[in-house]
Amino acid sequence: MTGESNSTIRTNNIPIKWPIINFRKWRHQMVTYESPVNLKEVVVPKSSDTDPVFLHDRVLVLNLNYVPINISTLRRSLILISKGKAEILECRSSAVHTVNDDVLAPSAIRLNYLVKRSYKTGPCKLSKKEVFLRDNYTCQYCLTKSNKMTIDHVIPRKYKGPNTWMNVVTACSPCNLKKAAKTPAEARMKLFREPKPPQPNPYRLLQNQTLRDEWKQYIPWNC
């Protein structure tokens, strides 16, 4: 076989070519298809006509002291429950099929351990999201409420207006374009209220959220 390639063999002086196998690709496929799968985390929703359920549906997560700390997904909530890290407080009418059993889809869960949250006495870090939450996604000039808002500097940057809580407000696009690089007095526009740093509020994560009826008993009215 001198002078022949590794994939060629001579039989009765007739060269026979064998197909070249990409062992690296074959090994990758073997690893991919034979890798173990954690079946406990694989769930298939079984929805009802009146209350359809999906893995990305929202679930209210309460701390050990019943204070809301997050809005998670149904899939993540089922994993916490299966690991014994949370208990179900409220259920929906639809069931979820797991490997072991059928369970009602949770709507609100409570952690079995306390997650420590430090609410500082001072204002939180300034960001676009925090400004929207402080103003409840409401334009501070025309009181229009929407999920598509912009940030406006009360004293424009061309006048060296600072980027602080007292100088930034939520504004809709039409009002922001109308005001442009002017002060409210120059643009003849009036602010609805004077901007201030937001107060620490553990229920801020629920702002601008559509609350399910079964959540409201765990949420104070003034959140």
Q: Determine contact, residues 78/94, Cβ cutoff 8 Å.
A: no
Q: How far apart are CA 66 and CA 52, in angstroms?
A: 27
Each residue's pLDDT tens digit, 124-142:
789 998 899 889 899 999 9
Q: Determine contact, residues 18/8, Cβ cutoff 8 Å.
A: yes
| Full set of structural domains in the chain with CATH | 41-111 (no CATH), 128-187 (1.10.30.50)
pLDDT band for position 118 (50/70/90)?
Answer: low
Smallest CA-to-CA distance from 109 within 93, 91, 132 is with 91
Q: Determine contact, residues 104/93, Cβ cutoff 8 Å.
A: yes
Q: What is the mean pLDDT of residues 95-99?
A: 73
Angle at 177 between CA 173 and CA 179, to 5 degrees: 115
Alpha-carbon distance values, 85 to 23, 81, 111, 129, 143 (Å): 44, 6, 6, 30, 42
Q: Report the pLDDT value the prediction gives residue 53, as an integer from 0 to 100.
A: 66
Contacts of 55 (CB under 8 A, 6+ apart): 43, 45, 73, 74, 75
Q: Report the pLDDT value the prediction gives residue 109, as an integer from 0 to 100.
A: 96
Q: What is the mean pLDDT of residues 196-223?
A: 78
Q: What is the mean pLDDT of residues 89-106?
A: 80
Smallest CA-to-CA distance from 152 within 124, 131, 121, 123 is with 131
Q: Determine contact, residues 218/202, Cβ cutoff 8 Å.
A: no
Check pLDDT > 70 for residue 158: yes
Each residue's pLDDT tens digit, 187-207:
999 999 999 998 777 777 777
Alpha-carbon distance values, 151 to 89, 114, 139, 176, 212 (Å): 39, 36, 9, 8, 30
pLDDT band for position 220 (50/70/90)?
Answer: confident
